[in-house]
Structure 1
Amino acid sequence: MIEEVYKNIYRIGVVLPGNPLKELNSYFIRGKDSDLLIDTGFRRPVCREALEQGLRELESDPARRDVLATHLHSDHSGMADLFTGPDRCIYMSAVDIALLNRFNEEKDPFYRHSRFLEEGFPREVLLEVFRTNPAMTEKMPGMDGRLCGLQDGDILQVGDYRLETLLVPGHTPGNTMFYLRDQQIMFTGDHILFDITPNITHWQGFEDSLGSYLDQLRRVRDIPVRLALPGHRKTGDYRARIDSILDHHRRRINDALQIIEQHPGMSAYEIAGCMKWKIRAADWDSFPVVQKWFAVGECLSHLDYLLKRDRIRYEIAGRAKRYYLR
């Protein structure tokens, strides 16, 4: 499905099979001398077919098309190299490019996920995550010279549009949004979604992803935005949604504190099992394994936030960290 959301800016819906997000919003900007495609979808035939169909309808030529990935997640970057010519750029933040290259060079996935094992995540369940999670099985290969790193404040000119890069670490360490100042349009990627909350997880080597995310929400809150274009699902009131997400995380932080107060000595895996999640599952044991991975990662980001602010502490008992109030 193609929708013109603004003059020469089009949304292409890219199906995400087996994913609760259901669809990616890929955006195409038509310029005078070059075009820009923002985000692409998983590296799957059904995703490729949907995006190719949309671009055919738009009569887009890959020889004049650059690709921009708002962040490294495979539902956004997975096919970036397939939709641009060999001499064109694949734009992504320099931070996420470095991470993507590191992940592609990984020999042992347990190295990056050692924290999950330390937090009580069962090894056999983690193995199943490695086998079934598209984020690990369908990512974009390293593109070396074709990847063009972006910094905060960098400008991309596409026809009449100037896209200002906003580095907003949190959802990923190098997550980005792009602002069209003259038109007051914001491509929010996964930093701001309107009917689901973005997943904020633990990232190895980055100690407070939730704190960074909340800081960046506050930083961009008062930017004038008439039209927000998110990475998934529908749009909405930009500033009101930021306030709602901030409130959501205040409640989730309090939820984690109450669980630790009521059940001192739990692991992060056990705490995640007691937290409130909007998912169709009878209980924690019946959660799909990939959703458990997302939930524990999000739990860890909230525990890290509380640890950094001296609200909680942990002790190591057996093979897992056990959490207590200060």
Structure 2
Amino acid sequence: MAERISEGLYRIPVPLPGNPLRELNSYLLTGGERAVLIDTGFRQEACRQALLAGLDELGVNRRDVDVVLTHLHSDHAGLAPEVVGDTGWIYASGPDRDYLEHADDAHWARRDERFRAEGFPAELLAQNTANPARALAPGFTDRYRTLEPGAVVEAGARRLRCIPVPGHTPGQMCFWDEAEGILFTGDHVLFDISPNITSWLEMEDALGSYLDSLRAVRDLPVRLALPGHRGRGELAPRVDALLEHHARRLEELRAILRKEPGLTAYQAAGRMRWRIRASSWEDFPLAQKWFAVGECMAHLDYLRLRGLTARDWDGAVWHYRAL
């Protein structure tokens, strides 16, 4: 059932079956000639049914809807082409639009090669094709339009300013309704869980970008922060907690490498602490292991670029050591 947040602003909960995120918060803004939907859910039947039921409940015709994406991930973008059909538009940042339009098999092959070079077993990568990151992504459409930094999205009487916050993805955006003090945070700031910050082919320092992006929104006069998943909270204290979280993770990783120099990213990730229901690294669900290694890689990139670790190539994989 849709939740009314304020006049012309609703949350449609979209379930994410089998995913630890549980559900997506899709936000619908009405009151103008066209409704604006922020994020959509996986290209998956359970998501499709919930989202369309929410639109029907609120009396919104899909032909009158445009989609605005906080970022490219499949749980946010997967249903966007189906929602807009041939009458609406999908608005996304330039970097994330480029990814959505060009992430083909060759792209995934390059990404798999990067993970192999970090020690991820080739046989596990071969089994990872069902990962929601690729299996439930949006289908092809020519309905994308680019949102530039600082652009304004008009939704009825609301004016949402686009704030680039790269890190979680190369082109993640927050949408800032300054008049109402409402910030749509996407996955940039989540309140019950820490956003996954992975290494990207398109970014040299994803974690460094993310930490800078956290500081960029911390002091906005936000009355209500609306995240992409789970519950709400106060922005500034949560930003401080996330900054501290990653400082601890970086020190944890340096301590691991001081104790065991020469580990691959895959091995180092297996020694890090993760909040997941698995008795050991070997028992991690494959998709979650992939996300964990990607996050470890982002932290290793951050440390290496600041001269705190080094890596050595043995002809097949990288090995890391603390400095």
Same fold (TM over 0.5): yes
Shift of 1:208: 0.1
| Root-mean-square deviation (Å) | 1.0
On the 8 A contact 1:36/1:67 being kept in 2, the answer is: yes
In 2, the alpha carbon distance for the partners of 1:60 and 1:135 equals: 29
2:122 counterpart of 1:118: no
Paired residue secondary structure (1:113):
helix
On the 8 A contact 1:194/1:233 being kept in 2, the answer is: yes
Matches within 5 A, 1:79-228: 79-103=79-103, 105-107=104-106, 109-130=108-129, 132-144=130-142, 146-228=143-225
- Deviation readout 1:16-48 (Å, 9 max, x if unpaired): 011000100000000231110111100011110
In 2, the alpha carbon distance for the partners of 1:109 and 1:157 equals: 35
In 2, the alpha carbon distance for the partners of 1:51 and 1:291 equals: 25
Shift of 1:57: 0.5
Q: Which amino acid aligns with 1:122?
A: P
On the 8 A contact 2:24/2:230 being kept in 1, the answer is: yes
- Deviation readout 1:84-140 (Å, 9 max, x if unpaired): 24132111111101111220x33463222211100100011111112x211111111
Runs of 4+ in 1 over 6 A off after TM superposition: none
In 2, the alpha carbon distance for the partners of 1:166 and 1:324 equals: 37
In 2, the alpha carbon distance for the partners of 1:108 and 1:164 equals: 31
2:239 counterpart of 1:242: yes
Which stretch shows the higher mean deviation, 19-28 or 109-118?
109-118
Matches within 5 A, 1:278-289: 278-289=275-286
State the TM-score, normalizing by the size of structure 1. 0.97
Matches within 5 A, 1:10-89: 10-89=10-89
In 2, the alpha carbon distance for the partners of 1:7 and 1:24 equals: 21
On the 8 A contact 2:81/2:140 being kept in 1, the answer is: no
Paired residue secondary structure (1:228):
strand
State the TM-score, normalizing by the size of structure 2. 0.98
- Deviation readout 1:259-284 (Å, 9 max, x if unpaired): 00000011000000000100000110
2:266 counterpart of 1:264: no
User: Where does the alignment leave 5 or more consecutive residues of structure 2 unmatched?
Assistant: none
Shift of 1:325: 1.6
State the percentage of identical aligned residues. 48
On the 8 A contact 2:55/2:62 being kept in 1, the answer is: no
Shift of 1:318: 4.9
